[in-house]
Amino acid sequence: MITQTLAILIDAYRELNARKLFWIVLILSGLVVLAFLAVGINPHGVTVFGMRVGRSFDTFDMDRAEIYKGLFYTLGVNIWLTWIAAALALISTAGIFPDLLSGGSIDLYLAKPIGRVRLFLTKYVAGLAFVVLQVSIFCAASFLVLGIRGGTWQPGVFWAVPIVVCFFSYVYCVCVLLGVLTRSTIAAVLLTILFWCIIWGVHVVENATLESNFKAEIVAARLDRQIANQQLQLTKLQTPGSSKDQDEKRASYQSKIDALRQKRQDATEGFDWHRPAFMTMTLLPKTTETVELMRRKLSSATEMDSADDQAEQRAAAEDEPRPLFFGMTTDDVAVTAMTDKALRARSVSWVVGTSLAFEAVIVALAAWIFCRRDY
């Protein structure tokens, strides 16, 4: 049994290895690592291949290790591994099952004493092994660059292997199901990309509704403070005896309080659209949130929480939102900080566990169809 399984894995590896896209992805990964290696930081500024390009970042403004870790996460993980390389890997592995079912290859496999479930799972694992190999090589090279150029040896970069493989598997399982159903590589790839876009769209909507809730909280807190101030002024006028002037002032303060209360009610009333968006996200795989786990591994949670708390406190202390830059205000910065903090607070079991549960259902359905179909 083990010998047969290994033989199928080796055969699948040779098939993927024979495709030029495997080597193209590997070469491109090397170029991304070379980009890390080319960037240098010294007291005089940033250099590329030893040539100074400016003083945007230097060792006086930011720690060198933090700069290289930021490059690894932003360029290496967030852009290359989870978008470009993942798309190329999907295209490369999407043909595993359609080619197996439509090319007559399955007749040869089924002629041997091997169960269909084991054949299906072995082929499925072979597709994931493509990503494991690519990401492992990339992380090993990045680890050396971070140590040599950044002066920081970060074993945490190898967390990118399970994180990116999990991220890819959420999309790959759908591609496998569509490949089994349609027996077409092109259809499987296109429909999977559509599904990927839907997941991203749900993520954007959920984030937008969460930001809307936090913005309403900031506005409500500011209005509560203004109402309390007006009530304090009104209380000071509640003295024995009265005059026409005092009555007019009390009426003015009361009018302002009523207006502020109405404003607060308008800001907080309405349907909470975040709840259905969050429930939808819970049922679907969480690609962006899974990749975000890599940032947690590379950065200090205490430092990130402290920075977010400061932004929130600055917004809470102001009577009106203060403009900052590019059209953003202190409220916008605080909302972003609160949202970022809330997303980091979500447990790994929710992010990965519910996503793997979705994958298990899809893989089980694809395996059932694969086993029930006549060939």
User: Does residue 337 lie in a domain region?
Assistant: yes
pTM of the model: 0.81
302 has a pLDDT exceeding 70: no
Which domain, by its residues, includes 322?
Answer: 300-344
pLDDT tens for each residue of 6-40:
666 666 666 666 667 777 888 888 888 888 777 76
| 326 plus 360 within the same structural domain | no
User: Does residue 361 lie in a domain region?
Assistant: yes
| 84 plus 188 within the same structural domain | yes
User: Does residue 134 lie in a domain region?
Assistant: yes
| 197 plus 169 within the same structural domain | yes
| 336 plus 355 within the same structural domain | no
What does the alpha-carbon distance between residue 276 and residue 271 come to, in Å, rounded to a whole number?
10
Res 253: pLDDT: 74
48 has a pLDDT exceeding 80: no
What does the alpha-carbon distance between residue 24 and residue 91 come to, in Å, rounded to a whole number?
12
User: Does residue 245 lie in a domain region?
Assistant: no
| 328 plus 362 within the same structural domain | no
Within its chain, how far is the Cα of 299 from the centroid? 15
| 326 plus 367 within the same structural domain | no
| 18 plus 132 within the same structural domain | yes
| 198 plus 166 within the same structural domain | yes
User: Does residue 255 lie in a domain region?
Assistant: no
Say if CB 67 and CB 298 are below 8 A apart: no
| 336 plus 364 within the same structural domain | no
| 21 plus 167 within the same structural domain | yes
| 13 plus 134 within the same structural domain | yes
> Which residues have a Cβ under 8 Å from the Cβ of 3 and sit 6 or more positions away?
none
User: Does residue 44 lie in a domain region?
Assistant: no
CA dihedral 218, 221, 224, 230 (to 10 degrees): -70
SS3 50: coil
| 153 plus 171 within the same structural domain | yes
pLDDT tens for each residue of 72-128:
888 888 888 888 888 888 888 888 888 877 756 665 555 565 678 888 888 898 889
User: Does residue 226 lie in a domain region?
Assistant: no
Within its chain, how far is the Cα of 199 from the centroid? 11
Q: What is the domain count for the chain?
A: 2
- Residue 285 CB burial class (10 angstroms; 0-12, 13-18, ≥19): buried
User: Does residue 212 lie in a domain region?
Assistant: no
The band of 195, judged by pLDDT with boundaries at 50, 70 and 90, is very high
